Amino acid sequence: MSEAAAPEMIVVIDDDFAMRLSCSKILSKMGLRVEVFENGARGLEGVAEHKPGLVVVDLKMPGISGLEVISRVHEIDPQIIMVVITGYATIDTAVEAMKSGAYDFLPKPFSPDELRMIINRGLDRRRLALQSQRGEVERALLKRQFVTFVSHQLRTPLVAIHQYLDVLKHLDQTKDDPVRRQEWIDRCLKRTEELQNLISDWLTLARVEGGTLVKERVEVDLKPIVSGILTTYEEMAAAEQVSLETVWPEEPLCVCGDRNCLNVLFDNLITNAIKYNKPGGKATVTGCLSGGEVVIAVADTGVGIPEQYRPFLFDEFFRVKGEGVKRTEGTGLGLHISKRIVSEMGGSIEVESQAGIGSTFRVRLPAWRAPAEDTELGSWE
C-alpha cells in the first residue's frame, strides 16, 4: 500500500515541557512524525492542521481539559486514536476518559517502553479500523453494483415481453398482421424461457453461496453422460442444422466426481456448441485419457469468441455481444457454473477460439483411480 510509506503523525498535547520533550524524542526514534502543543486550544488547531493518526493528551491541563479535547478531536475525525496521560490521582478521570472515547491511558510516571507499547497498540488498532472501514465501503459498493446488475438482467427479458404485448395492444386493429403477431408471441415465449433459466441458474448459485456445487465424489463414466445429453438435443440440433459427433476411445472415460454436476457441465457446453453455431455446422465432442486426466473437448464451428472477451468468459453474467452474435437466450451463468464445477472437481477448463472457424472448450478432470485394496478392506481402521 502506498500510504504505508508515510510515517504516521502523532500529536502530543501536554502542559509539561519535560513530558513534551521526552514524548517527542521517544516517538521520533520510533520513526513517527511528532508535533507537540502546550495546551488544548493549540492542540486542537494542530490536530485540524496535521490530521494525526493518534493523539496523546494530558488530562489535567489549564484551559480546555483533556476530556474536552477528546470529544473535540473526535468531532474532527472519529478515527483518530486518543491516548490519555494521567497522574495516579486522576485514575477515575482516566476511566471517564475511556468512556468518552479514549482508546487507552498511561499513568505517570511511565517508561519509554510503556509509551512505545501503547502507541504501537493504538496505531495497530487504527490500521485495523481503517481497513475494515475500507472493506465495508467496498462491500457496499459491490453489493449495490450486483443488485443493479441482477435487476437489469431480470428486467431485460421482462421489458422485451411487456413491450411486445403493449405495442400489440396499441397497434391499430386494421394494421394487425397475423404473421407478425405469431412471431412476437414466439419471441415472448422464448424470452419467458430465458427468464426461467436465469432464475433457476441464479438459484443454483445462491443456494450454494459459500458452499460447494459438487456433492459427491464417485466413479462416473463420462461417455454415457455425454451420449445422453446429445440424444436430448438431437431435435434442437436438427432445427439449427447442426450435426452432432463424438470422437472417443472404446474404453470408458471415468472420472471421480458428481454425476449431477457433470450432467450440468456438459449440458452447458453442448447446448452452447449447438446454439453458437451456424447452419450446416458441427458440434463435436472429443474425449481421451491423457496423463492421469480425462480430457473432453467440446468444439463448435460458430463465429468464434473475440479475443478481448475471452478473459471474462467464465465471469458471472458475462455474455459475448457484438456483430454476428445471434440473439440467443443465455443466462450469462452457464459457463460460470461450469467453471466452478470443474474447479471443485480439481480440474480445469480452457477455451480456444478462432474468428470464423469456431471455439473449443477443453475440460480436464482427474481420471478415476480405483482405491488401493487395503483401504477398500478398511484395514486402516
Partner 1 sequence: MSVKVLLIDDDQDFRVSVRSLLETRGYEVLEAGSGHEGLRQVLEHKPDVILLDVMMETSVEGYGVTHALKYRDEYAEHSHVPIFMLSSIEESPDERFPMSGEVEMIRPDAYLTKPLDIPRFLALLEKAVGGAGRVP
Separation of CA 323 from chain center: 30
Nearer to partner 1, 110 or 184 (CB): 184
Residue 27: closest CA among 48, 50, 5, 56:
56
Query: Which CB atom, from 25 or from 326, has the smaller least distance to partner 1?
Result: 326
For residues 180 and 215, which CB has a smaller minimum distance to partner 1 in the complex? 180
Q: By the 8 A CB rule, do 325 and 356 touch?
A: no
Is 37 in a helix, a strand, or coil? strand
Q: How far is the CB of 233 from partner 1 (least distance, A)?
A: 24
- How far is residue 333's CA from residue 117's CA, in Å, rounded to a whole number? 52
Smallest distance from partner 1 to CB 196, Å: 16
E strand or H helix that includes residue 374: helix 373-377
The residue (of 163 and 227) whose beta carbon lies closer to partner 1 is 163
CB of 149 to partner 1, least distance (A): 7
Whose Cβ is closer to partner 1: residue 25's or residue 155's?
155
CA distance 165 to 161: 6
> Which residues here bind partner 1, judged by CB under 8 A?
145, 148-149, 151-152, 155-156, 158-164, 166-167, 170-172, 175, 180, 184, 187, 191, 321-322, 327
Whether 81 contacts 103, CB under 8 Å: yes
Query: In whole angstroms, how close is the CB of 206 to partner 1 at the nearest point?
Result: 21
Using alpha carbons, list the distances in angstroms from residue 100 to 25, 74, 84, 330.
29, 10, 11, 57
CB of 104 to partner 1, least distance (A): 38
Minimum distance of partner 1 from residue 158's CB (angstroms):
8
Nine cell digits for residue 97: 476518559
For 88, how many CA atoms within 13 A lie in the half-sphere containing its CB? 2
Which residue number, 145 or 200, has a Cβ lying nearer to partner 1? 145
